[in-house]
Amino acid sequence: MKTYPIAKPWITDAEIKRVEAVLRSGHLSLGPVATEFEKTFASYVGTKYAAAVSSGTAGLHLCIRLQNLQEGDEVITSPYSFVASANSILYERAIPKFVDIDPRTLNLDVRQIEKAITPRTKGILPVHIFGYPAEMDAIRVIADKHGLFIVEDACESLGATYKGKKLGALGYPAVFAFYANKQMTTAEGGIVTTDDESVYKKIKSFSNQGRGDGDLWLKHEVLGYNYRLSDVHSAIGLGQLERMDEALAKRDAIAQTYHRLLADVQELELLDASLPEKRSWFIYPAWTRKPLQRDALMQALNSLGVASRPYLPSIHLQPFYRQRFGYQEGAFPVSEDRSDRGLAFPFYIGLQEEDLKIISDRIKEAIAKLLKGGKIYA
């Protein structure tokens, strides 16, 4: 039986040759390849600058670090995200103030943001979840009205556009991530895009132990970190960027095929294909409808050789958030409902039409078995 993992990076000889060249050069970090990667990435997204860092989480942390928050300040963000977006606020001793999500876009529900603003609110950290842009025009209006900063978590959305503009180039610092399951990878890595030279320079300094621009090697101006992206990792990124549009088109085609093959499965809710903005496909998620239960489906798929993952747990119900803030079920019902029902299917470049047919057939087979066995009834 052919088995299908959840994700796989798309690595070719282009990356291998570039990595080999860096290794042979002896210049493994703080070298010319890291700088070339930053310039190439900035021009791909359409910004003046891009500051490479060691992970998306590091990029988010530094963007929040630049806001000079005081302990107890609040930053509005989404509970339906990977935990790092909210954690980056906590690293600076500020408080993530969650606002529930819009059931169609799964991004911050902009109608609920203003209700969450208090005198301690300093910023908004929208997450473009599953590669779909948050409603940035509405968020911009609210931020301007209340004097709030915006930092975008674009870690799942390289290549998506908002009103015709690529995410990352909307005028706010935006963070992308390059873990192996993202639209592009550097194994581990991240980058912050900006048009503001001073933001770029600060991110570079904070990520490099607080060294000043062109300063002596052992002169440290601020309390910095080692959040550098090495030239070895950057070389992988350069190889990936060469095929970026091709990669995005392939991912889009796989998602469209899934959509077609699963359209008639009543027990699964798929992402809304009629939304106006251009999604960049990060994963292929679906949500079980009653009486089908997500965990039962995952188990049944596993025994049929199809990997799946629950996507996404709500951040406020993670053990550490419950303990620290006392959150309980019911706090953000739309997010929690999606967390209870959501799962992701195998999604990576290399899946052919026939593979997608096999996977979809197994999904249907698993559902049929569960319905017949009566196991899924709560």
Ligand X SMILES: *Cc1c(COP(=O)(O)O)cnc(C)c1O
Q: 315 forms bridges with which residues in the sheet?
A: none
Residue 375 falls in the annotated catalytic set: no
- How many residues line the site for ligand X (CB under 6 A)? 14
Residue from 156, 231, 267, 277 touching ligand X (CB under 6 A): that is 156
Q: Tokens 């997010």 appear where?
A: 335
Asked whether position 153 contacts ligand X by CB under 6 A, the answer is yes
Q: Chain-centre distance of CA 266, in angstroms?
A: 28
Q: Say whether residue 56 binds ligand X (CB under 6 A).
A: yes
- 270 CB-contact burial (10 Å; exposed 0-12 / middle 13-18 / buried 19+): middle
- From the list 284, 315, 83, 56, the residue with the least C-alpha distance to 168 is 56
- Cα 192 to Cα 58: distance, rounded to the nearest angstrom: 10
Q: Which is nearer to ligand X, 19 or 60 (CB)?
A: 60
Task: Identify the residue among 42, 69, 76, 84 touching ligand X (CB under 6 A).
Answer: 84
For position 177 contacting ligand X by CB under 6 A, the verdict is: yes
Whose CA is closest to 282, among 256, 310, 252? 252
Q: Does 155 bind ligand X (CB under 6 A)?
A: yes
- Closest CB 62 distance from ligand X, rounded Å: 12
Window 14-53: contact mask with ligand X (x via CB under 6 A)? ----------------------------------------
Bridge-based pairing of strands 174-177 and 152-153 is parallel
Write the interaction track for ligand X spanning residues 246-285; mark x where CB under 6 A is met and - where it is not: ----------------------------------------
Among 38, 47, 57, 113, binds ligand X (CB under 6 A): 57
Closer to ligand X by CB, 81 or 360: give it: 81
3-class secondary-structure state, position 217:
coil
With a CB cutoff of 8 Å and minimum separation 6, the contacts of 289 are 266, 267, 268, 269, 341
Return the ∠ at Cα 334 (arms to 166 and 125), rounded to 5°.
Answer: 40
Rule CB under 6 A: say whether 55 interacts with ligand X.
yes
Whole-number minimum distance, CB 167 to ligand X, in Å? 12
Is residue 81 near ligand X by the rule CB under 6 A?
Answer: yes
Token pair in block for residue 335: 């997010």
Q: How far is the CB of 85 from ligand X (least distance, A)?
A: 5
82 near ligand X (CB under 6 A)? yes
Give the residues across from 121 on adjacent strands.
Answer: 74
Q: Is 152 in the site for ligand X (CB under 6 A)?
A: no
For residue 334, the tally of other CB atoms under 10 A from its CB is 17
Which residue, 177 or 184, has its beta carbon nearer to ligand X?
177
State which of positions 185-224 bind ligand X (CB under 6 A): 190
Residues 269/286, Cβ–Cβ less than 8 Å? yes
Backbone angles phi, psi at 166, to 5 degrees: -65, 140
Binding site for ligand X (CB under 6 A): 55-57, 81-82, 84-85, 127, 153, 155-156, 177, 179, 190
Catalytic residue annotation = 182
